[in-house]
Amino acid sequence: MAQTVVGVDIGNSTTEATAATIEPDGTVRFLGAALTSTTGIKGTTDNADGVAEAVARAFDAAGLRLAQLDVVLLNEATPVISGLAMETITETIITESTMIGHDPRTPGGRGLGVGVTVAFEELPRTPSGADIIVVIPKGVDFELAAHAINAACERGLKVTGAILGNDDAVLVVNRLAAVIPIIDEVSRIDAVPVGMLAAVEVAGPGQSIRTLSNAYGLATIFDLDAAATKVVSPVARALTGNRSAVVVRTPAGDVADRTIPVGSLALTGDRKRVAVDVSRGAVEIMAAVEMVSPLADVSGEAGTNTGGMIANVRQSMADLSGHALADVRIQDLLAVDTFVPQEVRGGVAGEVALENAVALAAMVRTRESGMRAVADAVRSRLRAAGADHVDVVVGGVEAEMAVLGALTTPGTDKPLVVLDLGGGSTDAATIEADGSIEAVHLAGAGDLVTRLIDAELGLGNVELAEEIKRFPLGKAESFFHVRLENGTVQFFEKPLPTTAFARVVTLGECAMNPIPTRHSMDRIRIVRRAAKERVFVVNALRALRAIAPGGDLRQIGFVVLLGGCALDFEIPELIADALAPYGIVCGTGNVRGTDGPRNAVATGLVASHAASPPAGASVGA
């Protein structure tokens, strides 16, 4: 009698299901497939709702009823927690408003003005002949401000620039007898010190400032020695790329660039234990991981940021799985160098500087697999939904099942190597002509890329970062056309939304979404591609070296890309370019000739069950 089964691949982001019937002679007939969002963290009992929904949808696509379901096959899902350690290595601290940088989007005038700051109400009483920069608080009308500056100039004062609390820079400049640089929208205008030497710089449209973003320019203006120039260099970096800026110096202030004690990681392997300082960066961390391979566990230095991150990973997994904290282990780690915008303390307008940081993705395992509990929860959930006699089986390891699914791609045969690119992990497996399979499971994939994009662009919006990762960019140059990131132009018959005009947008499948940031389209594209290279390309090479004979990539002939990230519009190209020097042919799989790179694991689970149903793995009654 034929058996009705569903193979289910629980991923970090999505859960995929494939329904099929298996005849007594082992013949498999695939009937339908479905894709849903994963509920909860992969490998925990919270997955049950997402699995039940995926199974129901797959049966609906196949035209079957849940009462006909015999067996559900689950992958051995290993939890991956990524991006939890975006630890900043350095931090710029500015005390007592020593240096105040600002980046308004609506400056007025042009040029560089240097002088002593003077409060607006003190302007009539300021002696003539001095070079001054006037500080105009909120509430002062632009007509009154312009009139007072013109009158001061007529008296012999040299007004070289102005700092405004209101959004009136252009209106004031248009009414002045001589053009001066003016910045506005300084939210904490009351915090700007008066009686101190200051500099205001405004660049022309489409240009960026040159003097205040140069450490030696600051040294020239404020007469700094070499030691002082070194410690104010973070201020210059914070202002790089801005169209306007103001810097004020107080003699009582102090600027320091200090190292935060991020701590060290202790990496334990089967035969070796190595400690590495996180502040040394991702290259040294990954070299240490390679040195102790295979990795057995990771611990962080107590009392440091790194120690707290590792402890949180363990505690989160222990809480979710119900295991004791001592039973939780970290079996793989991916470190990535990145930059994150850090607020410059002591500034008055939320100034930020890009600082070095290290992002970590950790793969967690427990002494006993939590998939038994997941299978039990799925069985209860499906029986409550009408699948009265369903049995739930933990069918196999993801990478091994992915190989079996990949073999249904037209044009493939043994030996074969696959790369399964998911949301939390990168898996690689090779199947030899005799059917033997070798696999490796590594931390870090699409979720970490999203977090890197979010952090480097300072978005504070993971959903938007996910869109930037998945879709190409454009710039709405008019209400009827968009210039794409490849330089071509797309025209529209209907006017674009007003929110998109003159903004960088993501070109999604259904709509374009404006990106609320001052970063240029080129900058966003560079960040997106760099994040994908630092995660997917690095992990692809790591995984393939782990399974290649003798670690020699030239021994691999063909690689098939699988998983949701293989559908990305540029990841397959980036990986193929990285593998080309080794003579490796790389392409995206097409599971069963219909599903593209999706459903490989679910399909492999069904194929494996049809070939040799696992004995003793059943959880059902």
**pLDDT tens, residue by residue, 229-244:** 887 776 777 677 778 8
CA distance 472 to 458: 19
Q: Confidence band (pLDDT; 50, 70, 90) for 617?
A: very low
What DSSP designation does 436 have? Answer: -
Helices (H), 433-518: 446-457, 462-470
Q: What is the mean pLDDT of residues 437-462?
A: 90
Per-residue pLDDT at 339 exceeds 90:
no
Q: Confidence band (pLDDT; 50, 70, 90) for 221?
A: very high
User: According to the model, what pLDDT value does residue 455 have?
Assistant: 87
Per-residue pLDDT at 98 exceeds 50:
no
Cα distances (angstroms) measured from residue 612 to each of 29, 394, 615 = 16, 13, 9
Per-residue pLDDT at 179 exceeds 90:
yes
Q: What is the mean pLDDT of residues 179-183?
A: 94
pLDDT 10s digits, 476-504: 999 999 999 999 999 999 998 888 888 99
Which residues contact residue 121 at a Cβ distance below 8 angstroms, ignoring those fewer than 6 apart?
none
Residue 198 near residue 113 (C-beta atoms within 8 A)? no
> Can you give the pTM of this predicted structure?
0.74
pLDDT 10s digits, 29-78: 999 999 999 998 888 889 999 999 999 999 999 999 999 999 999 998 76
CA distance 315 to 415: 41
Q: Confidence band (pLDDT; 50, 70, 90) for 338?
A: confident
User: According to the model, what pLDDT value does residue 48 have?
Assistant: 94
User: According to the model, what pLDDT value does residue 522 have?
Assistant: 95
Torsion of CA 54, 56, 61, 62, to 10 degrees: 120
Residue 268 near residue 295 (C-beta atoms within 8 A)? yes
Q: Confidence band (pLDDT; 50, 70, 90) for 178?
A: very high
What residues pair up with 562 in beta bridges, in sequence order? 420
pLDDT 10s digits, 139-164: 899 999 999 999 999 999 999 999 99
CA distance 196 to 251: 8
CA distance 468 to 446: 12
Q: Confidence band (pLDDT; 50, 70, 90) for 399?
A: confident
For tokens 């849903």, the residue is 36
What DSSP designation does 70 have? Answer: -
